[in-house]
A and B are shown apart, each in its own frame.
Chain A
Amino acid sequence: MKIVIIKYNAGNIRSVDFALQRLGVNALITDDHDEIRSADRVIFPGVGEASTTMSYLKNHRLDTLICDLKQPVLGVCLGLQLMCAHSEEGDTACLGIFPEQVKKFVISPDHPAMFKIPHMGWNSISGLKSPLFRDISEEDYFYFVHSYYATTGSDTAAICNYLVPFSAALQRDNFYATQFHPEKSGKTGATILTNFLNLKV
């Protein structure tokens, strides 16, 4: 199985590669269009700023390429947000694979000290609706680090509650995405990655 991690100007791409290696799987990290198109699985990870990253994707014509992919694609963190319709971060149009909007977490003055931004740490998720969540229960925790979130909507495959209910995962056709970091979420995260690799096409 050929697995490609899309290389672009975002941080933390290496940690997804390391997580796959722990599962005994080797991935190719590349921005080469032919390599990406010919992969069996494509992973679109990343930590960074939405508008500058969208410009980078457009300049490298990776935006249309990603939208046209037919094999299973997994977006992680910023990857999920870039697959939505629009992000408030730098007020940018995104790839529009999912109709959901990306908004900034806002703490109103009446919220107690328990709410901080970024949403950082381990949180549970509910309303699990995707083959990604095979063998995962609502008792399990996943590692999140983000200051922007995707709204809930028709493609929401898991919900997390932090200040507001938001999309912890999204899925439409062959496109999958998680706001949390499966590569940093211990054994439960490894299960998500395994489920993605084992998806029936």
Chain B
Amino acid sequence: MLAKRIIPCLDIRDGQTVKGVNFVNIINVGDPVELGKLYAEQGADELVFLDITATHEGRKTFVELVRRIAKNLDIPFTVGGGISEIRDAEALLAAGADKISINSSAVRNPQLINDLARNFGSQFVVVAIDAREMNDHWTVTVNGGRIPTEKELFSWAKEAENRGAGEILFTSMNHDGTKNGFANKELAKLSENLTIPLIASGGAGTMEHFADVFTEGKADAGLAASIFHFREIAIPDLKHYLRGRGICVR
């Protein structure tokens, strides 16, 4: 049976992890490769590395980092942040990334999804969508949730699928950071409307939230950052718990 995936997300600035300060037992807590390997050993199913560097120098550092991750990590990983052209994706593929995630750049230029899928295959293209609910309407936002757009969550997700996305990563800006659970109602609706896999993000606070997102939310994968980085939930414990709840995990 296909296992539900647990995906820690690491934010990277200038080649170093932004969170992860609580990992006292590893030598270099700031090194994304060391942190990634630790998660892989603990049973993470995939990893996402999100580059939040703004500078050109930092960008080059990130491509070098992706190569080092690819050499050292024996599970799949997605990289995102600052990908707005085919050649950005090409550099990351050449460095060894399994998938890339695009967000604001896909909203601004939806044709980018078609171009990336045609050049590198749908399996390489994750479309990340940050959306916020206001008056029962889910508005797609860009620039880390700061800027609302004309697009609506459910139609945009379907359009991304039709354009060739291989996976949708949905973050509810209403739930992100609250630790009150995922946006299960919206996730279930998305999952039923899509034929490609759905990664849920935003709101994870307890192990029960993951059980809920896989049952009520019908998500194929659950992503979280701080609860893993700050060791509030250990991945082996989470997998054990989910197994006990009858959810198929690796």
Which residues of A are interface residues toward B (Cβ below 8 A)?
Answer: 11-12, 14-15, 18-19, 21-22, 47-49, 107, 113-114, 116-124, 141, 143, 145-147, 161-162, 181, 183-187, 189-190
On whether the beta carbons of A121 and B221 are closer than 8 Å, the reply is yes
What is the distance, in angstroms, from A171's C-beta to the closest C-beta of chain B? 23
Give the complex CA separation of A118 and B124 in angstroms: 11
Within the assembled complex, what's the spacing in Å between the Cα atoms of A73 and B89? 31
The complex places the Cα of A117 from the Cα of B220 at a distance, in Å, of 11
Q: Nearest-CB distance from B140 to chain A (Å)?
A: 21
Looking at chain B, what size class is its interface with the partner chain?
35 or more
- By DSSP majority rule, is chain A's interface helix, strand, loop, or mixed? mixed
Complex formed: what's the CA distance from A18 to B96 in Å?
9
The 10 A-B pairs at the shortest CB distance, nearest first, are namely A141-B250, A113-B191, A116-B197, A122-B3, A122-B250, A113-B218, A113-B192, A145-B123, A123-B2, A184-B76
Does B120 interact with chain A (Cβ within 8 Å)? yes
24 inter-chain pairs at a CB distance below 8 angstroms, sorted by A residue, are A11-B121, A11-B124, A14-B96, A15-B98, A18-B70, A21-B71, A113-B191, A116-B198, A118-B123, A118-B166, A121-B2, A121-B45, A121-B220, A121-B221, A122-B3, A124-B3, A147-B122, A147-B123, A161-B1, A184-B74, A184-B98, A186-B40, A186-B75, A190-B74
Min CB–CB distance B18 → chain A (angstroms): 26
Contact A47 B121 (CB under 8 A): yes
Partner of B74, one of A48, A113, A185: A185
